[in-house]
Amino acid sequence: MRMSQLFGQTLREAPADVEVESHRLLVRSGCIRQLGAGIFSYLPLGWRVVGKIQTIIRQEMERIGAQELLMPVVNTADIWKDSGRWDVIGPELTRFKDRQDRDLVLAMTHEEAVSDLVRQEIRSYRQLPRLIYHLQTKWRDDPRPRAGLIRVREFIMKDSYSLDRDDAGLDLQYDRHYQAYHRVFSRCGLDALAVKSDVGMMGGKVAHEFMYLTPIGEDTIMICASCGFRANRQVAAFRRDEPDAGAPAEQQLPVEEVSTPGTTSIEDLTKLLAVPASRTAKAVVMVGQVNDEETRLVFAVIRGDLEVNETKLANAAGVRALRPATSEEIAAVGAVPGYASPVGIDGVSVLADLSIATTPNLVAGANRQGYHLRNVNYGRDFTASVVTDIAAAQEGSPCPDCGAPLAARRGVELGNIFKLGTRYSDSMGCFFLDEDGERKPVIMGSYGIGVGRLLASIAEEYNDKDGLLWPVSVAPYTAHLIVINGAESEAERLYDELEGAGIDTLYDDRDERPGVKFKDADLIGIPIRITVSPRSIEQGGAETKLRHESDRGSVAIDQAVEWARSTATLLEQPLGERADTAPARAD
């Protein structure tokens, strides 16, 4: 491609609203342009990177036996109603009507669409197992798009779906995806950490996310350096302080009401009563969104030294989203804001953290302004409809497996894998006849990779003060050929030879100063640079440089093509070696 013909241009400065380095450099290098909030166009350079990533994905999907198809981005509402998610997913799912007043949606994922295909195509156990995938545009009306391509509303995703007779088949396909994803990300130049995660709106039983660790990430990952435990904070368990098994049980003391004026926080309460936060009970009152119309009060209680994990709490309460309850909503169930507790309230289900059931003689609110209760005990003074883990792991929380302190790291989710089981088969009628003639549900798995987010994460990882440093596997072009005025005939001949040898080349044939060309080359970040100038020809060849190195070299003109080919192979080799060393699955 001649740069004189290239659509798009480099920019000396990025727009003022750019938040992260990858966004800044992708805009400045002429890879992307923003159309609206969370909506981007890929210019030719950026689209070539997308194409390289998609080629890697296709190769690794075919390596595990997947077949590519294409499902529509516009879905009929009927299939979403069949699955039950029409009433469960909120405004993130864009709903609209066609001219005949039929409900339609813009697909944010394709479990419903693939299930509709399965119930049409799969009849017998002889048609299983199967693995299908597509690369398709999705739309999720995210309320807070940010950080360029890291969090968008329109995005390209690879989603694959495994179809099996039994759980053993699902386990096998799940493990194959686990390995395939490691290979995809490694070949793209990223180390992605697989962590246990929440199944969320997808449903099912087991899920893993593949995280690129970076300070710009929105997810928090809890990691144990001692035993290798790792999980998204949304689901991460941790050890709580438990009573010594050999020590006598602490006697339950009588409840005592104490005056505690102006103590509406745990910090104020512990100072006034000289008790540790671990001997207090904190009430967290939320309102859960069951569906578009129905809400439910969620009254949670947890030990005062812990924080509620909203994902865990929403899952335990069976709601899709939570918000803090208002003072009026709290008072409506007989509790007092700032002094609320589960003691003595009626007409509301209480959810208690595990810590509450194992810690005796807690200080809790008295549901009376300016008063608390000493020596509140679970089982004697109140009970809960659910007792489970609703606590958020923190930096330094004890690892659930070995007890060592957990570290908290930020990360960007590049991909995810889900064991859906029969979640969609049961609701959408995806059944087959087994060899014994019994009608059984198809066992399903769902597996996604965000292509644009992967591209942005590569750009976030590979850059310096001058611009991008694309890994050769995903670079828009393998070689960048620069001609300096006076050497056009030699450069034209070399460009033809590079292209003829299958080395995709960006040829800067513009009538620009050498400094402008070199700055643009650094900004665009193609890994191999060849410069042909009158001086280099006088010295017997062309100047060579790798983007990630400062040193320059030279090569004879008639050897430049072979140098570029062998250099590209050397640059690709460590990426392939990383892909061949997949870690064990984190369970």
In this structure, are strands 505-508 and 479-483 parallel, antiparallel, or unpaired?
A: parallel
pTM, rounded to two decimals: 0.90
Q: Is 461 left (phi over 0), alpha (psi -120 to 50) or beta?
A: alpha
Task: CATH 3.30.930.10 in the chain: give the residue spans.
Answer: 31-235+408-460
Contact 330, 337 (CB under 8 A): yes
pLDDT of residue 243: 54
Q: Is the pLDDT of residue 14 over 90?
A: no
Tens digit of each residue's pLDDT (9 = 90 or more) over 409-465: 999 999 999 999 999 999 999 999 999 999 999 999 999 999 999 999 999 999 999
Sheet strand arrangement including 295-303? 321-324, 281-289, 295-303, 350-353, 386-388
Handedness of CA 539, 542, 543, 545 (dihedral sign): negative
Name residue 299's beta-bridge partners: 285, 350
Peptide bond into 129 cis (omega under 30): yes
Contacts of residue 501, Cβ cutoff 8 Å, sequence gap at least 6: 561, 565
Please state, for a pLDDT cut of 90, what percent of the chain lies above it. Answer: 83
Handedness of CA 347, 353, 356, 362 (dihedral sign): negative
Structure tokens at 92: 């993130």
pLDDT of residue 83: 95
Q: At what angle do helices 44-63 and 167-187 cross, to 10 degrees?
A: 140
Question: How many other CB atoms are found less than 10 A from the CB of residue 352?
Answer: 24
Strand stretches in 66-183, DSSP E: 67-68, 74-76, 95-97, 103-106, 130-139, 154-164
Q: Does domain 467-578 have CATH number 3.40.50.800?
A: yes
In this structure, are strands 407-421 and 431-433 parallel, antiparallel, or unpaired?
A: unpaired
Q: How many alpha carbons fall within 13 Å on the CB side of residue 459? A: 33
Contact 160, 132 (CB under 8 A): yes
DSSP, residue by residue, 370-383: TEEEEEE-BTTTB-
Q: For Cα atoms 248, 253, 254, give the angle at the middle one, nearest 5 degrees.
A: 160
Structure tokens at 464: 């310096």
State the fold for domain 256-388: YbaK protein (3.90.960)
State the fold for domain 31-235+408-460: BirA Bifunctional Protein; domain 2 (3.30.930)
Q: How confident is the model at residue 349 (pLDDT cuts 50, 70, 90)?
A: confident
Name residue 135's beta-bridge partners: 158
Structure tokens at 9: 């241009």
Task: CATH 3.90.960.10 in the chain: give the residue spans.
Answer: 256-388
Structure tokens at 551: 């040193």
Task: CATH 3.40.50.800 in the chain: give the residue spans.
Answer: 467-578
Element housing 566 (H / E) = helix 560-579
User: Residue 578: helix, strand or coil by DSSP?
Assistant: helix
Q: What's the alpha-carbon Rg for the chain, to the nearest Å? A: 29
Tens digit of each residue's pLDDT (9 = 90 or more) over 249-303: 789 999 999 999 999 899 999 999 999 999 999 999 999 888 777 888 999 999 9
Name residue 520's beta-bridge partners: none
Choose the weakest-confidence range: 114-118, 341-345, 455-459, 515-519: 341-345
Tens digit of each residue's pLDDT (9 = 90 or more) over 198-254: 766 555 567 899 999 999 998 999 999 998 899 899 889 898 876 554 557 789 999
Name residue 297's beta-bridge partners: 287
Tens digit of each residue's pLDDT (9 = 90 or more) over 353-411: 999 988 999 999 999 999 999 999 999 999 999 999 999 999 999 999 999 999 999 99
pLDDT of residue 58: 98
Tens digit of each residue's pLDDT (9 = 90 or more) over 111-136: 999 999 999 999 999 999 999 999 99
Contact 161, 444 (CB under 8 A): yes
Sequence-distant contacts of 321-325: CB under 8 A, at least 24 apart: 321/90, 321/288, 321/289, 322/286, 322/287, 322/288, 322/289, 322/298, 323/286, 323/287, 323/289, 324/285, 324/286, 324/287, 325/285, 325/286, 325/287, 325/297
Taking the C-alpha atoms of residue 83 and residue 425, their distance in angstroms, rounded to an integer, is 9
**In whole numbers, what is the pLDDT of the chain averaged over residues?**
93
